[in-house]
Structure 1
Amino acid sequence: MTNVIDALLNRSSEPRLQAPAPDPETLDKAFACAARAPDHALLRPWRYLVIEGGGLERLGELFVSSCSDAATEQEVEKLRRAPQRAPMVIVGIACHQSHPKVPELEQTMSAAVGMGYLLMALQSAGYGGMWRTGAMAHNESVARGLGLQDNELITGFLYVGSVASEKPAVPRPDKDSYVSRWPV
């Protein structure tokens, strides 16, 4: 097997992360990998925000400010602490551009593939990561608070750091349960 195949077969979501986060050189290489995502018409429909240090607290406060008045105190605290689950959070952003042959959905998929490549590159460099979406990724107040424009949307929050503790391997489905041939 190749190094790429081995990395893909060993990829896992790592919820328990701690310092250190990736250094600038590692991040630069990982972002270069993300920029290799398939990109119809070379629109480069993505960008990223790197958040660490005090920015993680500010992100938690942004999450809190965007929750409904019906949220319980426990829900509010969970949102406030969410970004503290890792020493770094990378926000993936799809940047839609008007193009006669490349619909917004294709541009979003390109940005999402870039997030996947970013995660794989960081894992290959020895870091762990967890790609999270959920309510905050789809919240208009969070998007505005992060400075997104009307043509942009969040593809996810990539929590990144050093793996704090190993978790059991997740069983993977048998190929025959999700692959078939057509025509039959």
Structure 2
Amino acid sequence: MASVREAVLARRSAPKVTDVAPDDAAIIELLRAAERVPDHAALRPWRVIALRGDARSRLGAALAEASGFTGEAASKLAAKPERAPLLLAIVASSTQHPKVPEWEQHTAAAGVAHLLSLLLDDAGWGVMWRTGPYTRDPLVEAAHGLGPNEHLLGWLYVGGLPAGARAARNSRPPAPRFSSLD
């Protein structure tokens, strides 16, 4: 079993995945761990929505409509959710709280997304967190059935890793962005 540090250093985005994906039971099991993020006041201000099959096509149609594109540009945008067999929509579900502002609740939801991506990678799945200019568009949010205090943070595109993909990863971590003030 890899240490947390080893798993973090080994993680890389997988822009191309195969057509296999974890089932809902596997996702729920990984979420049990990912939901251990810091969560001020235990609000659990997130939810995760699995999009498979036709749900990805409906998302693609919403993206194309939100963009205002037509023709080939609209078709290309509509096809993007088909790049993976499973998309996990990460949703920030904020509530009014006197001590926990909305931005902090969104941060907790983003933490769930990041931990889930690490856990999926560690379990051998290819995963990439994708966002884009239409993430917060009302048409795209409506395609996910979001409520009035919910905002889409993006999607984890999940699928199988092509043969040799893990071995081909660059193992050198990026240089830290760090400063210290006295």
TM-score, normalised relative to structure 1: 0.90
Q: Hey, what does 2:72 align to over in structure 1?
A: 74
Aligned to 2:89: 91
Corresponding pairs, count = 179
Amino acid aligned to 1:109: T
Say whether 1:174 aligns with 2:175: yes
Quick check: 130-139 or 106-115, which moved more? 130-139
Deviations 1:117-146 (A, max 9, x none): 111111111101010111121212111221
- 1:31-46 pair list within 5 angstroms: 31-46=31-46
Offset at residue 164 of structure 1 (A): 2.4
Q: Per-residue CA shift, 1:59-91, capped at 9, x if unaligned? A: 2112122222xx242320111100110010000
Alpha carbon RMSD of aligned pairs, Å? 1.8
- Which amino acid is the alignment partner of residue 23 of structure 1? D
In structure 1, C-alpha distance between the alignment counterparts of 2:118 and 2:19, rounded to whole Å: 19
Give the deviation of 1:150 after TM superposition.
Answer: 1.7
Q: Which runs of 4+ in 1 moved over 6 A?
A: none
Distance 1:65 1:181 in 2: 46
Structure 1 residues 170 and 142: CA distance shift in structure 2, 3 A: farther
| Identity, % of aligned positions | 36
- In structure 2, the residue corresponding to 1:93 is in which secondary structure? strand
What displacement does 1:171 show?
5.7
* TM-score, normalisation: structure 2: 0.91
CA shift, 1:170, in A, is: 7.7
State the SS of the aligned residue for 2:106: helix
Q: Gaps (5+ residues) in structure 1? A: none
- Aligned residue in 1 for 2:152: 154
Taking the aligned partners of 1:82 and 1:2, their CA distance within structure 2 comes to 33
Alpha-carbon distance change, 141 to 170 in structure 1, aligned in 2, over 3 angstroms: farther
